Amino acid sequence: MSIFKIQINAGKPAVFDPNPRTVYVNDSVFWFNGDPNEAHWPAPSASNPEGFIAYQIPPSTQSNQVSFPAVQTISYICINHAGETGQIIVKTPKKSAFGGKTKKGAFGKTTK
């Protein structure tokens, strides 16, 4: 599992960077509010403000981590500011370095 950051950059409107953010199933995402003056609140929709996190992100702080358990594309908005939007693309996990096919023991033999 990996942890991915989405930066909130100040502006009118503020910008989520990167947008879209690509992650993999069960990876974690957090938002860092780089806007020194405004709180931001990323959420799936205005009707579901606590869909990711249950609070606004104050200036110059970060949110808790959020994980996504299934392949999907999620569009989100800032509850506090109309016009601030982002997207997270959740993909199938990458295979391990050996493609899941490793042998037991240092030399490929069963260890005792």
Query: 51: domain CATH number?
Result: 2.60.40.420
Domain membership flag for residue 81: yes
Q: What is the pLDDT of residue 110?
A: 57
Query: What tens digit of pLDDT does each residue of 23-62 get?
Result: 999 999 999 999 999 999 999 999 999 999 999 999 999 9
The length of the chain is 112
- Phi and psi, residue 29, nearest 5°: -130, 140
- Count up the domains in the chain and report the number: 1
Query: What tens digit of pLDDT does each residue of 71-105 get?
Result: 999 999 999 999 999 999 999 987 766 655 555 55
Structural domain range at position 68:
3-91
Alpha-carbon distance of 79 to 40, in angstroms, equals: 7
Domain membership flag for residue 68: yes
Indicate the average pLDDT of the chain: 90
Q: What is the pLDDT of residue 79?
A: 97
Domain membership flag for residue 45: yes
pLDDT mean over 57-68: 97
pLDDT mean over 10-30: 97
Domain membership flag for residue 96: no
